[in-house]
Amino acid sequence: MRSEPRPWPEGFAPGRSGRDSVLVLASLAGLLPRKVAETARREGTASACLRAVRAGELGSDMDRVMADRIDPREVEASLRRCGARLVAPGDAEYVLGLDHLADPPAALFVRGRSLLELEPRVAVVGARICSPLGRDVATELGSGLAAAGIAVVSGGARGIDGASHRGALQAGGPTIAVSGCGIDTAYPTQHGGLIERIAATGAVVSEYPPGVPAQPFRFPARNRIIAALAEAVVVVEGAAGSGSLITADHALDLGRPVYAVPGPVNSELAEVPLALVREGAGMVRNSADLLADLGHLDPTAGTHDGAAASLSVPERAVWDALRSPTLPEQLSGATGLELRDVLSVLVDLELRGLVRTVGGRAERRLLERPATMEVIPGRIDPDRAPAGEGPAG
């Protein structure tokens, strides 16, 4: 279910004292983002949240001790040394989608370009230990998205993440890496050069200040930021329990469209994508499929007569409701049409090549991309994206 926004209070971090308080709060290891956000909505400012820590009302006893030891000027100097900056709630660069998270970060640290310049954004995520085919698909997705003017968001990890970043860079486009460790640390270490290239043309993002080590529990947490930054999420490969499923779940909770690249049914790496497709995620094979579904390719180009533009009122209602593979009964509920009328409309749309039925579910037929089909710049068209009704966990 889509999360309602839980905005930070206006004036959360005003002036020098407010930003200093944010730097200290972000440096306290025991503070849960959810608790900071709850306290902020009650107390109003970062300075008040920090006072709650010092009074023992927020965080752990160690947090209370460390709150008096951390010098925000030293944190700020560390940020300058690694070329990073603080982005606090209320700043223009603090992406609105972060407010919709149940546990929004009280601070982001960013190296590189402004996030405001890197729009629209699509996340490509998947297995660290991926197949050669999965790596090729992720590279092609990154390249195709970048060529269409879309910033690729991923986690900077080995496997699918790294391939999608490299694909974007190869196409000369920007990409965003969301890190699960301090903003000054490249992890994995062998991706140091890749992270520097990303920071030079796109951005590196973390909720952790300099000096925070890479620890296993931080990487699932960063997946919520990947989902919140992106306007859609694509899962390429992932075994059961994969972090890519966590990212997809966050995206679904945020109301973001989710797509998956299918794989062999007997492959462990296909478990997450196939499960997502079964539960309603959009199925894509390459960047052309994805761009068509996102509305960045003209859906009537290459068709015989632009049939999608000449639908009757019932046909348009069903077509608009078909944002992902959907049962006729669900379409009836979504459109208010009788089930028999929905079935009749689906038959007509299928005969015209606009819809197909797979496993009892109707879905829009993906158009082949002809040589003349042009990429349309601009933001993602939500009317062409699947609704993102997927599994809860």
Give the pLDDT confidence score for residue 308 in this predicted structure. Answer: 54
CA proximity to 323, closest of 365, 383, 262: 383
pLDDT digits (tens, 9 = 90+) for 31-88: 999 999 999 999 999 999 999 999 999 999 999 999 999 999 999 999 999 999 999 9
Contact indicator for 176, 203 with CB cutoff of 8 Å: yes
Give the pLDDT confidence score for residue 180 in this predicted structure. Answer: 92
The residues near 318 (Cβ < 8 Å, ≥ 6 apart) are 331, 335, 337, 342, 345, 346, 349
Q: What's the CA dihedral at 26, 29, 32, 33 to 10 degrees?
A: 20
Contact indicator for 18, 44 with CB cutoff of 8 Å: no
Name the DSSP class of 326.
B
Name the DSSP class of 99.
G
CA end-to-end distance (rounded Å), the chain: 12
Instruction: Report the distance separating Cα 25 and Cα 324, nearest Å.
Output: 41
The model carries a pTM of 0.76
Contact indicator for 146, 175 with CB cutoff of 8 Å: yes
The residues near 254 (Cβ < 8 Å, ≥ 6 apart) are 2, 3, 97, 100, 101, 227, 228
The residues near 91 (Cβ < 8 Å, ≥ 6 apart) are none
| Amino acid at site 258 | V
Catalogue all structural domains in the chain, each as residue range(s) with its CATH number: 15-112 (no CATH), 118-293 (3.40.50.450), 303-366 (1.10.10.10)
Tokens 């965080």 label which residue? 59
Instruction: Report the distance separating Cα 86 and Cα 20, nearest Å.
Output: 10
Give the pLDDT confidence score for residue 189 in this predicted structure. Answer: 87
- With 0-12 / 13-18 / 19 or more C-beta atoms within 10 angstroms meaning exposed / middle / buried, residue 158 is middle
Contact indicator for 369, 334 with CB cutoff of 8 Å: no
Instruction: Report the distance separating Cα 151 and Cα 121, nearest Å.
Output: 5
CA proximity to 259, closest of 118, 66, 125, 80: 125
Tokens 């300099």 label which residue? 210
Omega within 30 of 0 (cis) for the link into 120: yes
What does the longest C-alpha to C-alpha distance in the chain come to? 71
Instruction: Report the distance separating Cα 234 and Cα 317, nearest Å.
Output: 26
Name the DSSP class of 148.
T
Give the pLDDT confidence score for residue 326 in this predicted structure. Answer: 83
| Amino acid at site 8 | W
Instruction: Report the distance separating Cα 97 and Cα 256, nearest Å.
Output: 10
Strands 108-112 and 121-125, bridge-based pairing: unpaired
In the predicted model, residues of the chain with pLDDT beneath 70 are 1-6, 296-309, 324, 358-359, 365-393
Strands 175-178 and 151-154, bridge-based pairing: parallel
